[in-house]
């Protein structure tokens, strides 16, 4: 019973917080949900697989000693070696075509994450402007102590929306930078796989 009461209390507090931010809080909550869904999906898509370097992985898979592919790089190596063994006349073009899906996959949701990270503080700023307008309207009407909010309500709206925008944007920027670095690393590894398959033999594992 106490847990239900605590949950209800938290829900009331959260609802009150959203109501204090005015009309901007609804879009901010939506931006938050979209942002973290896109971040989660991008995190899953950017699973590299084995953490060993590309050369070692290629040697192992070429000798049939590699583990079951788990991640983009593992899958790309297995597929690339299979194409190489077919003796195709233009291996580089075949690899480019085969890896096209991987290269597209690691870029998915990147634009969504970037857009949501940019939109969140702008919505917070919009809420700040709306709150300040409400404050100045109260000054014009001399409703300093009105029960509908007045100056206090306008300032509260401005502060809550600014806070919410920053709470959404700052962690998003940090996680986005981590994911972008991971994407760059995977993209570099995919290019290295293609270069190794087309320019040098795969030496045995030492």
pLDDT, tens digit, for every residue of 28-53?
Answer: 889 989 999 999 999 999 988 888 88
Burial class (CB in 10 A: 0-12, 13-18, 19+), 55: middle
Distance CA 203, CA 149 (A): 75
* Mean pLDDT, the chain, integer: 79
Asked whether the predicted pLDDT for residue 205 surpasses 50, the reply is: no
**Strand residue runs (E) in the chain:** none
Q: pTM score, two decimals?
A: 0.74
Q: At what angle do helices 91-105 and 150-199 cross, to 10 degrees?
A: 160
pLDDT band at 1 (very low <50, low <70, confident <90, very high): very low
| SS3 assignment, position 124 | helix
Distance CA 59, CA 78 (A): 11
| Mean pLDDT to the nearest integer, 176-180 | 94
Start-to-end Cα distance in the chain: 64
Q: What pLDDT is recorded for position 206?
A: 42
pLDDT tens-digit map of 59-94: 888 887 767 778 899 899 989 988 888 888 888 899
pLDDT tens-digit map of 107-150: 999 999 999 999 988 888 877 777 776 666 666 555 444 545 55
pLDDT band at 18 (very low <50, low <70, confident <90, very high): low
For 136-183, give the secondary structure using H, E and C. Answer: HHHHHHCCCCCCCCHHHHHHHHHHHHHHHHHHHHHHHHHHHHHHHHHH
Q: What pLDDT is recorded for position 137?
A: 63
Check residue 6 and give left, alpha or beta (phi > 0: left; psi -120 to 50: alpha). Answer: alpha
| Mean pLDDT to the nearest integer, 10-31 | 68
Asked whether the predicted pLDDT for residue 156 surpasses 80, the reply is: no
Q: Sign (positive/negative) of CA torsion 46, 52, 58, 62? A: negative
């Amino acid at each position: 019973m106490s847990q239900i009461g605590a949950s209800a209390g938290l829900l009331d507090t959260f609802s009150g917080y959203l109501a204090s931010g005015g009309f901007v809080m609804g879009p901010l909550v939506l931006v938050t949900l979209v942002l973290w869904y896109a971040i989660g999906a991008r995190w899953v898509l950017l699973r590299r697989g084995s953490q060993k370097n590309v050369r070692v992985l290629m040697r192992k898979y070429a000798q049939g000693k590699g583990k079951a592919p788990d991640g983009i790089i593992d899958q790309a190596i297995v597929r690339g070696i299979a194409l190489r063994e077919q003796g195709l006349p233009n291996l580089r073009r075949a690899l480019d075509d085969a890896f096209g899906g991987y290269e597209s996959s690691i870029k998915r949701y990147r634009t969504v994450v970037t857009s949501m990270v940019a939109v969140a503080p702008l919505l917070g700023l919009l809420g700040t402007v709306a709150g300040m307008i409400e404050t100045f309207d109260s000054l014009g009407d001399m409703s300093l102590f009105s029960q509908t909010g007045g100056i206090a309500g306008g300032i509260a709206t401005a502060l809550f929306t600014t806070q919410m925008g920053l709470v959404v944007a700052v962690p998003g920027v940090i996680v986005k930078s981590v994911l972008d670095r991971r994407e760059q690393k995977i993209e570099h590894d995919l290019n290295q796989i293609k270069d190794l398959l087309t320019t040098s033999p795969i030496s045995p594992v030492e």
